[in-house]
Amino acid sequence: MQNAFKSSKNFEKSDNSKKITNSSNQPNKSSAEASTDKIIIDQVSESIIKTLESRLDHMCIKKSDDERGPRCNTASVPGIVTQRSCVYGGARVVLMPITDAIHLVHGPIGCASCTWDIRGSRTSGDDLYKTGFSTNLEEKDIVFGGEKKLFNTIIELNSLYQPSAVFVYSTCVVGLIGDDLKAVCRESEKITKCRVIPVQSEGFRSFNKSLGHQLACDAMLDHLIGTGKLDDKLKSEIDAHPTLNIVGEFNVAGDLWAIKPLIEKMGIKVLSVLTGDSCVEDIAKAHYADLNIVQCQKSSNYLARQMEKKYKIPYLKVNFFGIGDTAKSLKIISEFFQDPEIMEKAGEIIKTEIETVRSKISHYKKRLTGKRVAVYVGGNKAWSLIRAFEELGMNVIMTGTQNGLPEDYERIMETVSEGTLVVDDANSMELSRLFQKYQPDLVISGAKEKYMTHKLGIPFCDFNHDRITSFAGFKGFINFAKELDRAVSSPVWKFTPKKYQGIQNE
Amino acid sequence: MNESTDDCKINSRVCGEIQNPIPNKHFAVINPSKMCQPMGAVQALLGVRGAMPLIHGSQGCSTYMRFQLCRHFREPVNVSSTSMSEGTVVYGGEANLLKALETIWKEYKVEIIGVTSSCLAETVGDDMGLIIRKFRKKHPDEELPSIVPISTPSYSGSHVDGYDKAIKSLIENLAYSTKPNGKINLITGNISPADIREVKEILELLDIESIILTDSSESLDAPHTDSVSFLPSEGTTVDEIKDTANSKATVSLSRHADSGAKFLEKRFDIKSVSGFLPVGLQSMDGFISSLCRLNECEVPVKLEKERGRLIDAMVDSHTYNYGRKVAIYGDPDVVAALARFTSELGMIPSIVCTGAKSNRFIDDMKIVAEESCSSPVVLEGCDLYDLHQQIKENPVDLLIGNSYGARIAKKENIPLLRMGFPIYDRLGAQRMPIVGYKAGIGLVDMLANTILENYYDESGHEIGSE
């Protein structure tokens, strides 16, 4: 796991931004190697589950002498019930937590009506971001273009709400009819004097929504970060304390509120959060920070790398899920600043918090120890939860993600223990076959997988972006243990037909 | 009770005439109260046995719809996608659609594939019918599933139209005339699995053989069996849809889902009847009398008793319900039917709102206004922002609609009775019926108890009364 906490200085990795868009037909390194010794891969895959031939090498089992991950970042097979979403969805999850902005979806109504207010990001202030805005493109707009309607909508919304910014998301059809999003945004910005930020997130642009994450980061980099002015108040703050930004933390269920106090207790000022519980103006001044720490490395490594290039802000990869990883994260942050006082504080916090957490989870741990877990998620949780489960005495037997890139699977392969099954872009049928064959005691995934898992009689815990319980930091870990216990220890599972019959036959 | 329920204020409006206020915005949709056409089509297809809905578009469409459907019904829902991406958009979606049909046919053992288009596929200009014919030509000697194209561009209409189009396309593509079957086709419209179960029970009581279009009562509210099925394992069969051309008549519970019925009437001379969604007393009476006329049957004692109990429940609670103002939003059929029912209870459905554009909704609301001598504000083709503005101007005691209204309810400090789609913050949406006398009894009690909970204190006194 040491690798997971490399500072940016040690972390030499090529910029993957171009890879995402163009790699549809290029198998990644590991799969290219795989094709040279096809027989082994086939044997392994056949022993996993029955599926389409083209899908076989998207699943593999970790071996001690072979760290190659599954084939990944390829288009899903048309017709398959894919768990993936679109580029627009990717962009939206990154930007939507910005609380005082209007998130305007330029497209037909469905794109907005299926996605508004579904992110579990919480706010301590403005709740404008929870409102669903759409230009509601209709047939005549498709024929004559939607630019005028978009322009009028922005002007109207600005007068109704006076927002701090308007993010305008492009959807599939907008890309086809060729509306000039940038021009309309520029024009309406002049009139409204409000930031109007285009996000070129046409849904079809990639099979991998990671492109959407990147486009969202680009929108912030090009239009927001760096535009905040250094006023006296900010200057005195920066002079008084070391500062950092928390990048890739979306305050899902209030996660941020368990992380931020820990950092502040160390004497470090959190300048801005990208983007959980954030305001537009906070993000605008993010470039004044001394350090970026990256929580969701799936969506936001790119942002941190770009800020390093542009503003010379170094970054650290952190993980606030699990006791050990939270402690390690605090430690590397404190070490970065090379300030004995901060390091001492970090040590104190870690010591007292760990004691408290351990005493509070022991009760749950007894019931959770030995349980086997399958994880299938959209982002960094495919690797960042593994240690957390181990701390509860649980074993991760399977992990995977819908949109993993080669660098994600590298992280996964170095984190999981031998024998763990790693799957890429598993569709709903494959997931049900996997769960039926490997019979995990618990599945960690999102709403689409929840009820399928329940129907199979397997306990489930939602760890998606619409979850309602905070799991981050030391406090969140107690919630996490409690939530897992609620899922696996409930007596209802005794009454599912197979188990109930078993009890009656005894 | 809100001050504005004073008689003088009610009378300041013209009794029996609906009001169409001018909205204070003209371009933006804020907090939508409708979804796009493919969503409605998918919901119709989920009631067909062995059906796989296939959305010809980008992956987000199917994924986000599955997300919405799963969290509402709390059931696994599968919707496949042709996974259009940049390359395929440039060259048209033919290759993706052909591949998708092949994959679904081979992988999922389907009986029928319903191919719904999206804004993307329609704008690219894919001729789905032609592509499906090509697919059939590629496999001349093999037994293929039924494949039905459904044109549902997301940029026109709403999910309400999408549902209607799916039903019509199923009938158009599959139904053919052989010999009379003596059955009644019943188009339910987009109602809950529990409602469909109620409808089936009523038909059974009346001894009517029927073809339900479409029957999601099992697929979207399935018992726990330690197993999961990828496609609806029960529901309307392809053979039943084929046989709709041989029925005696078609009854549409939804005036917005009767295009299929009209097609059958025109093409096969099958009588089409539609009315209010049978919620509450009068609408249910209308439904039962239509059925009895068509099938020449007597109303059975059991149903008579249920009706009697409903009236008894209405009487039990009438003083609590009388004069209470309600705002109702959601699908046009459900809203109009609930407006009619709440009027029967003496409540005043003072604001009704639907996201869909629909003249029939306005007509239905005119009937409700005339019957109850009220003057509701009718918001048609509007959103929840418009609804909220109206509620601010004309306060109500109770809000009825889907989960999206929770924030309005909180801001205005009024209770929200969750009905419609989607309901994701409460349990049991798939199990809660509103159709029929029996369901009406539950509904009356729920309404009155909500009033009691919010406007009466723990000793039973009305809060704020003299």
Spans in chain A with pLDDT lower than 70: 1-47, 506
Average pLDDT, chain B: 94
Q: What is the CATH number of domain A87-223?
A: 3.40.50.1980
Q: What is the pLDDT of residue B152?
A: 96
pLDDT of residue A65: 80
Homologous superfamily of the A356-495 domain (CATH)? Nitrogenase molybdenum iron protein domain (3.40.50.1980)
Q: A383-429 pLDDT, tens per residue? A: 888 999 999 999 999 999 988 888 889 888 988 888 899 999 998 88
**Cα–Cα nearest to B417, from B395, B450, B371:** B450
CA distance B161 to chain A (A): 13
pLDDT at residue B13, as a whole number: 62
E strand or H helix at A245, and its extent? strand A243-249
In 3D space, the residue among A35, A20, A173, A168 whose CA is nearest the CA of residue A92 turns out to be A168
Do B394 and B4 touch, CB atoms closer than 8 A?
yes
Binding-face residues of A in 62-81 toward B, CB within 8 A:
75-81
User: Do B32 and A134 lie within an 8 Å CB cutoff?
Assistant: yes
What tens digit of pLDDT does each residue of B316-340 get? 999 999 999 999 999 999 999 999 9
List chain B residues with CB under 8 Å of A176: 89, 120, 123-124
Q: What is the CA radius of gyration of chain B?
A: 23
Q: Cα distance from B151 to chain A (closest Cα, Å)?
A: 14
**Closest in A21, A82, A110 to B63, CB measured:** A82
A132 contact residues in B (CB cutoff 8 A): 29-32
Q: Which residues contact B400 (CB under 8 A, 6 or more apart)?
A: B326, B327, B328, B329, B330, B338, B342, B416, B417, B419
HSE, side-chain direction, 13 A CA sphere, residue B101: 27
Tell me how far apart the alpha carbons of residues A263 and B427 are, in angstroms, rounded to a whole number: 38
Judging contacts by C-beta atoms under 8 Å, the chain B residues touching residue A454 are: 224
User: Is residue A457 classed exposed, middle or buried when 0-12, 13-18 and 19+ CB atoms within 10 A define those classes?
Assistant: buried
**What is the tens place of the pLDDT at every residue in A322-332?**
999 999 999 99
| pLDDT tens-digit series, residues B248-298 | 999 999 999 999 999 999 999 999 999 999 999 999 999 999 999 998 888
Dihedral of the alpha carbons of A470, A293, A93, A373, in degrees to the nearest 10: -50
Distance between CA B355 and CA A344 in Å, rounded?
59
Cis peptide before B214 (omega within 30 of 0): yes
Task: Kindly give the pairing relationship between strand B29-30 and strand A133-134.
Answer: antiparallel
Q: Which residue has the higher pLDDT, A68 or B81?
A: B81
Query: Residue B269 has what pLDDT?
Result: 97
Does A232-355 match A87-223 at the fold level?
yes
Q: Which residues of A, range 16-55, sit inside 8 Å of B by Cβ?
A: 21, 24, 52
Provide the terminal-to-terminal Cα distance of chain A, rounded to the nearest Å: 45
Distance CA A115, CA A125 (A): 22
- Dihedral sign (CA B157, B162, B167, B171): positive
The highest-level CATH class for domain A232-355 is alpha beta
Contact B124 A176 (CB under 8 A): yes
Q: How does pLDDT run across B107-130, given as a tens digit for each residue?
A: 888 999 999 999 999 999 999 999
- Model pLDDT, residue A276: 94
Secondary structure (DSSP) of B182-222: --EEEE--S--HHHHHHHHHHHHHTT--EEEET--TTTTSP
Question: Does the pLDDT at position B348 exceed 90?
Answer: yes
Instruction: Identify all chain B residues contacting A455, using CB atoms and an 8 Å cutoff.
Output: 75-76, 222, 224-228
Chain B contact for A444 (CB, 8 A cutoff): no
Work out the percent of chain A whose per-residue pLDDT is above 90.
Answer: 68
Chain A residues within 8 A of B73 when measuring between CB atoms = 451
pLDDT of residue A20: 38
Query: So where are chain A's domains?
Result: 87-223, 232-355, 356-495
Output the average pLDDT for chain A: 87
Q: Give B240 to chain A, closest Cα distance, Å.
A: 26
User: Residue with structure tokens 């079957």?
Assistant: B181
Q: Please tell me the distance from the alpha carbon of residue A425 to that of residue A286, in angstroms, as a whole number.
A: 34
Binary contact (B108, A455; C-beta < 8 A):
no
Please tell me the distance from the alpha carbon of residue A137 to that of residue B100, in angstroms, as a whole number.
Answer: 28
Does the distance separating the beta carbons of A496 and B58 come in below 8 Å? Answer: no
Cβ atoms of residues B447 and B417 within 8 Å:
yes
CB contact under 8 A, A172 and B119: yes
Q: Which of B70, B80, B227 sits opposite A447 (nearest CB)?
A: B70
Do A423 and A376 touch, CB atoms closer than 8 A? yes
Average pLDDT over residues B421-440: 95
Give the Cβ contact number of residue A239 at 10 Å: 8
pLDDT of the residue at B98? 96
Residues from chain B that touch A496, judged by Cβ atoms under 8 A, are: 224, 226
For chain B, domains (ranges, CATH) are 3-30+310-455 (3.40.50.1980), 37-174 (3.40.50.1980), 184-295 (3.40.50.1980)
Nearest of A469, A441, A474 to residue A369 by alpha carbon: A441
With CB atoms and an 8 Å threshold, state whether B62 touches A114. no
| Contact call for B59 and A205, based on CB within 8 A | no
Q: Cβ-count burial of B425 within 10 angstroms (0-12 exposed, 13-18 middle, 19+ buried)?
A: middle
What is the reported pLDDT for B23? 81
pLDDT at B160 over 90: yes
- Cα–Cα distance between A395 and A473 in angstroms, integer? 21
CB contact under 8 A, A429 and B108: yes
